[in-house]
């Protein structure tokens, strides 16, 4: 080899080393492509160069970089390049060189070769791990810059390295985009979940789900419906000839539709979904063919599945040429899964609400129906007791006394049940005003005095002199104190002691009712305040009661911004303490 040749070879290798080391410095695909093209022009001395990559969507080669010798992007249409050359290179997987295309039998009849007067052309495929990504192409119109075989070798070597750099940048962009999409989707779903879970109103849940589905797929409209079985007497069922229907609950679109359209299960798209148990994408659907009666270019119907059963359907429509792609479908499917949970919760809530309402209506009815005859029983008993129906024997008097005691028990049960009913349904009104707790405690003590003395118990009332007025419903507070004092009386053996205390602390008044009676076992303490709970103890069961008092007390205290706590030891006694807000003192704002 002559010195000159060796020198040229060295210079080439140095240039190759130089440009190769630049590769991979960036992961931005556009930058990598321009860099590759510039390096190739620099290496080969070409006039211009083009880099083409296969398009993922349509599988065709697309020019992704077009550069000239001055490292500028060539704006003009790349029609003047020889596609025959490129085609051959990518198909054969080998580099192609034509030193004088004008006279090269392979290419001389090409319009680009003739028209653009191409002389020297080189092309190398961009291949990585057995896949062809595209090709690089350089050409030159001058005689002076004719490419040689060595130039092709250089181009092919560099193209192999460039292909790796391009693939890396492409993968990076893909993963980067996929990751960004995933993060975006996760945070979006977090927002959707929050919104959906916040609502227990079925219509709102459906509405929210549909809005999100439309917004995120750019659909023009859509609907959301739930499957149901109509009553056999339902007029709609007779009209449709079936009881199994999809009830479209919410509808969004340009035209207004009745919100509660019924679609029979025999509808072709609906039937297909029920059979295949997956989303169905239909094209060019007419109003009749469409699930929700909206003609559409594309209609996507996504089932809402709960525990393996299809319970509803989301439909989305696009007009003109707006597509719904696979990603959109996957997105709506994930949304449908979330909507399914929220729909289930909302339906459960509706059912509980309905059951509670039924229970509350029933109790109101029973309470009313019982009160009327009880009033008359009580009236006649009182008349007889007063001797207005003739004189009574001792035994008759005794029997009447039993009737009277039982009437009291019954009426206390009825009034407890009505109270609970009122509190639970939010119908209990609290007429909160400032009042003096001393008066209420004294009234309650008076009403219980007889029962306390019968059991030879002592009662101490200790209210701090500084206790200001409290802010609550005085009658309800009387009920709370009466319940707690009555318990102290009932569950303290004869000769026991009851102490009622009240003192101010911060913005509240504290009221405690202490006894040295039966006390409550640790196990029973857990169940205290639950409705109908009563200790098994014989001494407890001897006393009249239904186990509703404490639960009412707690609700009444809490409804008036107070709290109730207790301390108790079996056999030693109990102390129940509750708080009520103090009335704001004048001048204190």
- Sites of contact with ligand ADP (CB under 6 A): 483, 487-488, 491, 515, 517-520, 528, 533-535, 540, 545-551, 574
**262 CB contacts (<8 Å, ≥6 apart)?**
230, 236, 240, 245, 246, 247, 248
Measured distance CA(386)–CA(380) in Å, rounded: 10
**Closer CB to ligand ADP, residue 94 or residue 497?**
497
In terms of CB distance, is 396 or 458 closer to ligand ADP?
458
Closest separation in Å from C-beta 386 to ligand ADP: 30
Q: How far is CA 248 from CA 37, 260, 268, 344, 374, in A?
A: 58, 5, 16, 17, 51
Do the bridges between strand 458-463 and strand 497-505 make them parallel or antiparallel, or are there none, so unpaired?
Answer: parallel
- Closer CB to ligand ADP, 135 or 518, in the complex: 518
Torsion 491-496-502-503 (CA) sign: negative
Q: Do residues 63 and 52 touch, judged by C-beta distance below 8 A?
A: yes
Q: How far is the CB of 531 from ligand ADP (least distance, A)?
A: 8
Distance between CA 507 and CA 581 in Å, rounded? 6
Residue among 129 and 538 whose Cβ is closer to ligand ADP = 538
Q: How far is CA 5 from CA 16, 46, 218, in A?
A: 16, 20, 64
| Residues listed for the chain | 589
Q: How far is the CB of 453 from ligand ADP (least distance, A)?
A: 18
Q: How many angstroms separate the Cα of 129 from the Cα of each of 31, 203, 261, 413?
A: 22, 55, 56, 85
- Shortest approach of ligand ADP to residue 573 CB, angstroms? 7
Cβ proximity to ligand ADP: between 250 and 513 the closer is: 513
C-beta closer to ligand ADP: residue 478 or 547:
547
Q: At a CB cut-off of 8 Å and minimum separation 6, what does 118 contact?
A: 80, 82, 101, 102, 107, 112, 139, 140, 141
570 vs 555: CA distance, rounded Å:
25
Say whether 492 sits in a helix, a strand or coil: coil
CB of 458 to ligand ADP, least distance (A): 16
Nearer to ligand ADP, 143 or 546 (CB): 546
CB of 421 to ligand ADP, least distance (A): 16
Query: In whole angstroms, how close is the CB of 534 to ligand ADP at the nearest point?
Result: 3
Nearest-CB residue for ligand ADP: 545
Least distance in angstroms from the C-beta of 428 to ligand ADP:
17
Smaller CB separation from ligand ADP, 102 or 458: 458
Contact 367, 410 (CB under 8 A): no
Q: Do the Cβ atoms of 358 and 366 come closer than 8 Å?
A: no
Q: Rounded distance, CA 206 to CA 209, Å?
A: 5
What's 102's DSSP letter?
Answer: G
CA 428 centroid distance within chain: 33
How far is residue 190's CA from residue 194's CA, in Å, rounded to a whole number? Answer: 6
Q: How far apart (Å, rounded) are the C-alpha atoms in residues 139 and 152?
A: 12
Question: For ligand ADP, which is the closer residue by CB, 174 or 456?
Answer: 456
**269 phi and psi angles, rounded to 5 deg:** -70, -40
In the complex, minimum distance from the CB of residue 483 to ligand ADP, in angstroms, rounded to a whole number: 6
Least Cβ distance, residue 397 to ligand ADP (angstroms): 28
CB of 393 to ligand ADP, least distance (A): 34
Q: How far is the CB of 545 from ligand ADP (least distance, A)?
A: 2
What's the closest the beta carbon of residue 520 comes to ligand ADP, in angstroms?
Answer: 5
Cβ proximity to ligand ADP: between 166 and 500 the closer is 500
Return the structure tokens found at 78: 């790349």
Instruction: Give the shortest CB-443-to-ligand ADP separation in angstroms.
Output: 20
Q: What is the CA radius of gyration of the chain?
A: 44
Residue 223 or 487: the one with the smaller Cβ distance to ligand ADP is 487
Residue-wise DSSP of 311-353: EEEEEEEE-TT----HHHHHHHHHHHHHHHHHHHHHHHHHHHH
Q: Which is nearer to ligand ADP, 94 or 567 (CB)?
A: 567
Residue 147 or 578: the one with the smaller Cβ distance to ligand ADP is 578
Spatial distance between the Cα atoms of 109 and 130, rounded to a whole number of angstroms: 32
Residue 505 CA from chain centroid, whole number: 43
The residue (of 220 and 552) whose beta carbon lies closer to ligand ADP is 552
């Amino acid at each position: 080899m002559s010195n000159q040749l060796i020198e040229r070879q060295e210079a080439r290798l140095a240039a190759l080393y130089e440009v190769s080391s630049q590769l991979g410095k960036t992961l931005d695909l556009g930058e990598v492509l321009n860099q590759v093209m510039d390096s190739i022009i620099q290496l080969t001395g070409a006039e211009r160069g083009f880099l083409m990559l296969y398009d993922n969507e349509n599988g065709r080669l697309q020019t992704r970089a077009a550069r000239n010798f001055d490292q500028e992007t060539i704006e003009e249409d790349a029609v003047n390049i020889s596609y025959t050359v490129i085609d051959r290179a990518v198909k054969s997987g080998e580099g192609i060189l034509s030193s004088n295309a004008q006279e090269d039998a392979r290419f001389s009849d090409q319009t680009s070769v003739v028209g653009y007067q191409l002389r020297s052309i080189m092309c190398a495929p961009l291949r990585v791990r057995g896949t062809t990504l595209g090709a690089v192409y350089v050409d030159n119109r001058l005689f002076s810059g004719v490419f040689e075989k060595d130039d092709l070798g250089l181009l092919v070597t560099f193209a192999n390295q460039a292909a790796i750099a391009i693939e890396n940048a492409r993968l990076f962009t893909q993963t980067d985009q996929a990751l960004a999409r995933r993060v975006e989707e996760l945070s979006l779903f977090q927002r959707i979940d929050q919104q959906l879970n916040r609502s227990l109103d079925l219509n709102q849940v459906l509405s929210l789900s549909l809005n999100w589905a439309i917004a995120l797929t750019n659909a023009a409209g859509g609907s959301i419906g739930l499957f149901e079985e109509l009553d056999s007497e339902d007029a709609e069922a007779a009209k449709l000839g079936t009881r199994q229907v999809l009830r479209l609950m919410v509808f969004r679109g340009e035209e207004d539709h009745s919100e509660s359209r019924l679609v029979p299960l025999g509808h072709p798209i609906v039937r297909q979904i029920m059979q295949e148990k997956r989303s169905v994408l239909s094209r060019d659907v007419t109003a009749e063919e469409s699930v929700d009666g909206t003609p559409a270019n594309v209609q996507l119907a996504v089932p809402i599945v709960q525990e393996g059963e299809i319970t509803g359907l989301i439909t989305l429509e696009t007009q003109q040429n707006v597509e719904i792609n696979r990603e959109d479908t996957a997105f709506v499917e994930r949304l449908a899964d979330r909507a399914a949970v929220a729909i289930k919760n909302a339906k459960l809530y509706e059912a509980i609400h309905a059951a509670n309402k039924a229970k509350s209506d029933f109790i109101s009815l029973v309470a009313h129906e019982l009160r009327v005859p009880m009033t008359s029983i009580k009236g006649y008993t009182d008349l007889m007791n007063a001797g207005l129906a003739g004189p009574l024997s001792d035994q008759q008097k005794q029997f009447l006394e039993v009737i009277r005691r039982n009437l009291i028990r019954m009426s206390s049960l009825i009034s407890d049940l009505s109270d609970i009913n009122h509190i639970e349904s939010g119908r209990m009104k609290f007429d909160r005003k400032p009042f003096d707790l001393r008066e209420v405690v004294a009234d309650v003590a008076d009403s219980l005095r007889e029962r306390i003395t019968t059991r030879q118990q002592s009662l101490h009332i200790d209210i701090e002199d500084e206790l200001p007025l409290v802010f609550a419903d005085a009658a309800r507070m009387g009920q709370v104190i009466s319940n707690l004092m009555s318990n102290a009386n009932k569950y303290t053996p004869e000769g026991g002691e009851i102490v009622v205390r009240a003192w101010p602390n911060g913005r509240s008044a504290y009221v405690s009712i202490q006894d040295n009676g039966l006390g409550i076992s640790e196990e029973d303490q857990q169940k205290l305040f639950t409705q109908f709970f009563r200790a098994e103890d014989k001494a407890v069961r001897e006393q009249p009661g239904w186990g509703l008092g404490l639960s009412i007390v707690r609700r009444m205290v809490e409804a008036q911004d107070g709290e109730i706590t207790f301390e108790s030891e079996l056999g030693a006694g109990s102390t129940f303490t509750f708080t009520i807000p103090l009335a704001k003192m004048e001048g204190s704002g």
